[in-house]
Structure 1
Amino acid sequence: MSERILTNGDPNMPTIIIQQRGRRWLVIILLLALGFSVLMNLGFMASFAEFAVDADQPTEKFHAGTRLAESKIARIQVGFTIMPPYTERIKKTIDHVREDDSVKGVLLVIDSPGGLVSGSHEIYHKLKLLSEKKPIYVQMKGIAASGGYYIAMSGGPEAPIYAEPTTWTGSIGVIIPRYNATELAEKVGVKSESLVTGPFKDSLNPFKNLDEQERAVWDAIIEDSFDRFLTVIDENRSNLDMEEIRELATGQVYTADQAVENGLVDEISFESDTTELLAKELGLDSYQVVNYSHPLSLSETLLGATTSLPKVEFDPVSSLIDLATPRAFYLFGLPHELNVSPSQMKP
């Protein structure tokens, strides 16, 4: 608080003292109010943007060829572990390409170790619908294994599959991760006493052993996904019969040369050469190859999200729940969501 003294210089006249409150606190309060208002508005904008981005079509970007050519070759790239949110985004891209009459053919570029069984089949299904309207050529990059190989079947029996010299592919099989922590639980004094309505409700509980009946239940489930994988290959690789496919379906990953030798891949080729082969089949002298991407939502941008795979952070409670949650994968390697480095583990 500050004081201001008013006087006319006459000692016989009363002195007027005016007290003024400092303006500093008023400024601080106004700044706080402004900051709160900005944060609230950003929050509303982020919420709205979530809906807006979901409704938007994928963004198209020139990749190669003749920029102003009317005819297009769609370059659909599956370069991620097949899990949300990437599964939904690639499905939207496939739908968009299917309805775009300027797209004459599709180059499916795969660089993925696979992922969830459900997501792999959803992408495969969408691509099969696309292949009914437009030819698909498959180009494998560094890795196209398990679910990555599964979706490579989507072009149909007449669609060629190309791999680069250093491609790894195959890994045909299914995995449902399960970790047995019974000995650890005994050491730290933890017991599992889940309340369930049936004997199989918590059959993958990591704090109890898997008995023979439970194993039989899950064997039947995993065999169903495995048989679907084999059937997809059988329907789309006319050079292989089911017996040959079963011999290859050991979970082994194959080099590009081994894959060609075993009939899993047709030829060794680089992407630029594969694109020219597709253009030749389509009879295109002039064309542009286009990429597709989905813009980040405002909330993703504010949180510093990128288009790369999400970070895995270790949380003891959620990790325990994840261990008991059954997920079937067509995946080469450890499931991404359980791949936690020691530096990320906190006590």
Structure 2
Amino acid sequence: MANAETHRPPKRRRWLLRLIFIALLVSIALNFYFYERYKSYFTDGNDPIEHFHSGSKVATDKIAVIKVQGVIMAPNTQRILRRIQQAKDDKDVKAVLLSINSPGGAVADSHEIYHRLVELRETKPVVAHMKSMAASGGLYVAMGAGEQGKIFAEPTTWTGSIGVIIPRMQMIGLAEKVGVESTPIKTGPFKDALSPFRELTPAEQTVWNNIIDQAFDRFVNVIADNRVELNVKEVRKLATGQVYTADDALKNKLIDKIGYEEAALDELLTRIDRKPEDVRVITYDNQETLVEILLGSAQASHPDAQWQFAMESTVPRPMYCCSWLSGLTSGPFGRN
């Protein structure tokens, strides 16, 4: 015991060590704070970050690779749109390669990305490259390459799945078993038209069929407008909702060539009359700031977060999407 007392640091020294430790933590926190303030002052924290992909590291002229990965829904959509805008605004970007690996997603999101690509291709050539999957909404955004652009697919790519669906579960039997009855207070006959606790009425089916019919017609027309060798009638024959292999897609004129990313980049080099050593191929990445990470954690732990998620999951969303989840319907409620 005496030895322990002898080797214990003096009380004043212990307090000094604690103060140094606290000062260190405060210093680290202040450094994070001032770094975030610096970024927010000099740059937009949401701006995509440019990364070298291939080619010449010192070349001024650039080819931008814009990746469309995963389901096309928020917040993924906003990141893709910011990448398109950055490529459009950057005068050094001479062409764009749209790299797609997506089963599709929301109707509105797919169309917004396509719309921005149409604006982009007015000033810069766009070529699309499909990776493992570019189905439904993934095919929709590929049409952003336009008539003059080319669409490449890898030998093992799945594409097609042309159609629209609103996923809907029917839980009438389950509700009866557990004794649950839905009695919403509503202002009109169609306000709860997609309730999973009852059958759709003929009038409701007509209303929702009209909605998805319009989305389906838009999909068909977008393909017909951008594929020179296909007209509306021919596209409708392909729009059965089925998935096509790369070979089938080529035979049906949905794509132009079967090849990998290098072939798509070579096509762009030809379009802009450049050699591989004359350009720097870059990609974009969107990184969350420290503030966004902290705010995201705070929102996730908010007591209303689970309620908000539950409410959002019941919102009807027309989808250009290829997924087994699309089969969670009460019956034939889709268009192809």
Q: 1:291 — aligned with what?
A: 283
What is the CA-CA distance between 1:296 and the residue it aligns to?
Answer: 1.1
Between the aligned partners of 1:195 and 1:44, the Cα distance in structure 2 is 52
CA separation of 1:60 and 1:323: change in aligned 2, threshold 3 A: closer
Matching of residue 266 in structure 1 with residue 223 in structure 2 = no
Q: TM-score, normalised by structure 1?
A: 0.78
Q: Distance in 2 between matches of 1:216 and 1:276?
A: 49
2:132 corresponds in structure 1 to 142
What displacement does 1:297 show? 2.0
Gap regions ≥5 residues in structure 2? 1-13, 329-336
Superposition deviation, residue 249 in structure 1 = 0.4
Identity %: 45
What is aligned with 2:191?
A: 201
Q: For residues 3-22 of structure 1, what are the alpha-carbon distances to aligned partners after superposition, in whole Å with 9 as ceiling and x for unaligned?
A: xxxxxxxxxxxxxxxxxxxx
Q: 1:225 pairs with 204, 215, 221, which one?
A: 215
Higher relative contact order (CA 8 A, sep 6+): 2
Q: How does 1:301-340 map to 2 (within 5 A)?
A: 301=293, 321-322=311-312, 324-334=314-324
Whether the 8 Å contact between 1:112 and 1:148 is mirrored in structure 2 is yes
Specify the alignment match of 2:6 in structure 1.
Answer: none
What residue in structure 2 maps to residue 211 of structure 1? 201
TM-score (normalizing by structure 2): 0.81
The code of the aligned residue for 2:71 comes to T
Matched, 1:93 2:83: yes
| Aligned 8 A contact 2:39 2:45 in 1 | no
Alignment of 1:183-202 (within 5 A): 183-202=173-192
1:88-131 deviation line (CA, Å, top 9, x unaligned): 11111111111111111111100011111111011111111000
Q: Which runs of 5+ in 1 are unaligned?
A: 1-23, 339-347
Distance change in 2, residues 1:103/1:35 (3 Å): closer
- Matching of residue 119 in structure 1 with residue 112 in structure 2: no
Please state whether the residue corresponding to 1:62 is helix, strand or coil.
strand
**Cα distance in 2 between the residues matched to 1:127 and 1:118:** 14
Checking the alignment, whether the CA contact within 8 Å between 1:53 and 1:295 is kept in structure 2 is no
Q: Tell me, what secondary structure is at the counterpart of 1:177?
A: coil
Partner Cα distance (2:294, 2:233) in 1: 53
> Matches of 1:88 and 1:327 in 2, distance apart?
18
Number of residue pairs matched by the alignment? 308
Residues of 2 paired with 1:122 and 1:92: CA distance?
12
Distance change >3 Å, CA 277–CA 65, structure 1 → 2 = same
Q: Counterpart of 2:167?
A: 177
Letter in 2 for 1:135: P
Cα displacement (A) at 1:334: 4.0
* Code of the aligned partner of 1:104: K
Is the partner of 1:324 in helix, strand or coil? Answer: coil
Q: What SS is found at the alignment partner of 2:98?
A: strand
CA contact (8 A) 1:204 1:325 kept: no
Q: Secondary structure at the match of 2:129?
A: strand
Does 2:155 align with 1:159?
no
For the pair shown, which has the larger CA radius of gyration, 1 or 2?
1
| RMSD, aligned CA | 3.5
Which protein is richer in helix relative to its size? 2
